[in-house]
Amino acid sequence: MIFLDGALGSILLDRANKSSSGLWSAQFLLDDPKAIKSLYEEYIGIGSDLITTNTYSTIPSYLNKEKLSAKMPELVDIAGKLAKEVADKHEHVRVAGSLPPLEESYRPDLVLTEGEALPIYKTLIEGLLPYVDIFLCETISSVQETQNVLKALDLYNKDIPIWLSWTLKEDKIRVLAEMENLRKRFDREKIDSIKYGSINFARDILSPGDNLERALSAINQEEDHPQSIKNLIEGLKMVQKEFSTALEKNGISKINSTNEKFNPNLHQAMMEVERDDLDEGIVVQEIQTGYMMHDRLLRPAMVGVSKKPKQNNTLDSKDEKEPKNKD
């Protein structure tokens, strides 16, 4: 069980006994950062395991009211540092980076478009990355808002866990179902990014492996070579074995091709080979090995495929003209 802190901004304003400015709780980042740290310590003292950065109002919709939008990166950095400084004093305490609604809270009708939201989230996420252990997406009130923040985190986050918090009013069942679908899609995409994130790199390293295999094939290993050459051959074999092991560890496996039925999803036909003893469409030669990465094709196998020999057309004896007998 994890205990969070509470309404940071509201308590700061109540204790200061003053009405909110256009900046709301962000005003304390400029005027009284010690008050923020003191409140963090109180929350930790009564059992909080997670303290939240004071970034709920360090966004243009608040900062523009005081013509301070240019200070957004500076205020986000201050908020992250304050929380991190307090958390570092307590071994069990972690920092949650607050990613708030970018317009008014509880107003799904005011949610920004993706194009409008991404630059703001970029400043928040990249500014908080050095200081936080988790990103807390607070009081999300619509599917569009969820999609915006998840897209931003996908672009700018670096494997820091995400916590989504929704505030729902109307048609809760429909919204909850949509949120569940989004969560499942996000989980699938996360799994895919782990399984296939290195697929381009994997394709690139296949060529050196091919060259190593060609080098070994070009050496007549039955010939009586000097000891230095024998040592070189053994070294190349060890490298090849380590290379194969590394591929297997990363879910990369060879495609079995020879004597298999030609499969256009796995094989690339480079030539046809006449074979009277086989059915058509059987792989009879592997020119280049193909590979799979888990259940995805990494590289098709280049192969030669069997075909039946052409039948020679012979003249029927009946069609041959017989010489006429002369009386």
Q: Is residue 153 part of a domain?
A: yes
Is the pLDDT at 289 greater than 70, yes or no?
Answer: yes
Which CATH number is 38's domain given?
A: 3.20.20.330
**Same domain for 156 and 212?**
no
Q: Is residue 108 part of a domain?
A: yes
Q: Is residue 316 part of a domain?
A: no
- Three-state SS sequence of 159-225: CCCEEEEECCCCCHHHHHHHHHHHHHHHHHHHHHHHHHCCHHHHHHHHHHHHHHHHHHHHCCCCCCC
**Same domain for 38 and 169?**
yes
- Rounded to whole angstroms, the Cα distance separating 112 from 102 reads 7
pLDDT in tens, 76-116: 999 999 999 999 999 999 999 999 999 877 788 888 999 99
Q: Is residue 61 part of a domain?
A: yes
pLDDT in tens, 133-168: 999 998 888 888 989 999 999 999 878 899 888 876
- Rounded to whole angstroms, the Cα distance separating 185 from 135 reads 19
Q: Is residue 322 part of a domain?
A: no
**Same domain for 275 and 134?**
no
Residue-level pLDDT at 315: 47
Domain count across the chain: 3
Q: Is residue 87 part of a domain?
A: yes
Nearest to 97 by CA among 136, 39, 130: 136
**Same domain for 53 and 176?**
yes
**Same domain for 62 and 202?**
no
Using CB atoms within 10 A of its CB, is residue 54 exposed (0-12), middle (13-18) or buried (19+)?
buried
**Same domain for 85 and 189?**
yes
- Rounded to whole angstroms, the Cα distance separating 63 from 71 reads 8
Q: How wide is the angle at C-alpha 161 spanned by C-alphas 156 and 162, nearest 5°? A: 80
Q: By residue range, what is the domain housing residue 265?
A: 253-310
Q: Is residue 268 part of a domain?
A: yes
**Same domain for 80 and 215?**
no
Burial readout 109-132 (b: 16 or more C-beta within 10 A, e: otherwise): eebbeeeebbebbebbbebbeebb
**Same domain for 158 and 168?**
yes
Q: Is residue 2 part of a domain?
A: no
**Same domain for 192 and 204?**
no
**The last residue of a domain, from among 196, 217, 236:** 196
In sequence order, what DSSP letters do the residues of 262-326 get, joined into one string? P-TTTEEEEEEEE-TTS-TTBEEEEEE--EEETTEEEEPEEEEEEEPPPPPP---GGGSPPPPPP
pLDDT in tens, 260-272: 999 999 999 999 9
Which CATH number is 282's domain given?
A: 2.30.22.10
**Same domain for 13 and 151?**
yes
**Same domain for 179 and 62?**
yes
State percent of the chain over pLDDT 90: 46
pLDDT in tens, 211-247: 888 888 888 767 777 888 888 888 888 988 998 898 8
**Same domain for 171 and 202?**
no
